[in-house]
Amino acid sequence: MPLRRLPSWVDGSGPSYAKRADAMKLADEIAAQHGLDKTWVRRQIARVRQVPQAMERVLPPSPGSRARDWQQYRGNYLQADRIGAGVEFWRKHEALLARAQAQYGVPAEIIVGILGVETFYGRNTGNYRVIEALTTLSLDFPAAHPRAAARTAFFRDELAAFLKKCHAAKLDPFQLRGSFAGALGIPQFMPSNWARYGVDFDGDGRVDLSGSVADAIGSVANYFKSFNWKPGMPTHYAVSFDYALLDLPLLLAPDIKPTFAVEQFTAMGVLLGHDARQHEGPLALVELQNGDYSPSYVAGTENFYAVTRYNWSSYYALAVIELGEAVGQAMASNRVRGRESPARESPLRENAAREAASEDKSTRM
């Protein structure tokens, strides 16, 4: 039997915060604002050592770094092993996924896509002590970051939420591991979202996002319902362009927020298929760069926007959606044929090919 690979833990290796006046001041502020025992909060912060790796990883890419590439990004997640793991996860937890969909209106495909992208269905939940990552980013967030002040405030709020949750649940803060940014559990919730959207879906009296798949599934579904997921609405539609009418700057100005009616899309040169033309509600033109090749585009609905509330990236959202679809297709093929079959290729690849073919024309317009 092969040996199981042990996690590579990242523990604080920098200076201790025990004797830093600003660290103890922050501890006192958290205790006062959230009604926590000051001695307990001080004791937790005093045990923390700085995590230099977290400080490095929050910095944005350097100018001139490699251009964004949707097809490459997609390839990181739409892989046979991840799709296969998704099928196994869905089969094992089909009843929970069905219950979550019935209760919250969020399709199993979206939940499966989220958990697959975030942690490979619980395999990779993070190797940092959450309290060390959050304390480091609360007190030593890199000043070189363009939004250092706002991000420092964000991580201080998350540290407070984490300590409050641990204190209430009688958890040792040093036993919880997560990402370099402090996200934890199978769904990688930040502590404030753990408190706000976490669901005790297995009925054991506590919200356990690390050890309970049921709680993870229910919490993801509850999260999307809270961000106005609309049952039955597609996430996006394929598009093509009438380049004589195309007003790309105006279409992209709202970014990924659904803003335009179908009629406005058509007037600005966006061609939609039959189902998309029947859509009720605003749409956004979502652009995904493909490195040196022409971009891919989709028409994002309010449900596409809801997926971006989990991670504010259109690349992330479409990877989640397509992974969930691929797992669902593999499940359906397995049921029909009694064996595994390759997932159907995404129509986005066809769309990218169409756009690449029309690259010369688009640059001339």
What domains are defined for the chain?
21-60+121-226 (1.10.8.350), 236-300+346-364 (no CATH)
Cα(304)–Cα(283) distance, integer angstroms: 9
Compute the chain's Rg from CA coordinates: 23
Choosing from 29, 88, 109, 118, the catalytic residue is: 118
118 catalytic, yes or no? Answer: yes
pLDDT mean over 292-301: 96
Residues 297-313 have pLDDT tens digits of: 999 999 999 999 999 99
Using DSSP's 3-state secondary structure scheme, residue 206 falls into: coil
Q: With a cut of 60, say whether residue 98 has pLDDT above it.
A: yes
pLDDT given at position 11? 83
Cα(285)–Cα(270) distance, integer angstroms: 9
| Burial of 270 from C-beta contacts in 10 A (0-12 / 13-18 / 19+) | buried
Residues 167-184 have pLDDT tens digits of: 999 999 999 999 999 999
pTM of the model as a whole:
0.89
Question: What percentage of the chain exceeds 70 in pLDDT?
Answer: 89
Residue among 183, 182, 100 at smallest CA distance from 138:
182
Q: With a cut of 80, say whether residue 56 has pLDDT above it.
A: yes
Cα(36)–Cα(267) distance, integer angstroms: 57
Q: What is the dihedral sign for C-alpha 106, 108, 109, 113?
A: positive
Per the CB < 8 A criterion, the answer to whether 60 and 23 are in contact is no
pLDDT mean over 67-88: 96
Residue among 136, 127, 159, 128 at smallest CA distance from 16:
136
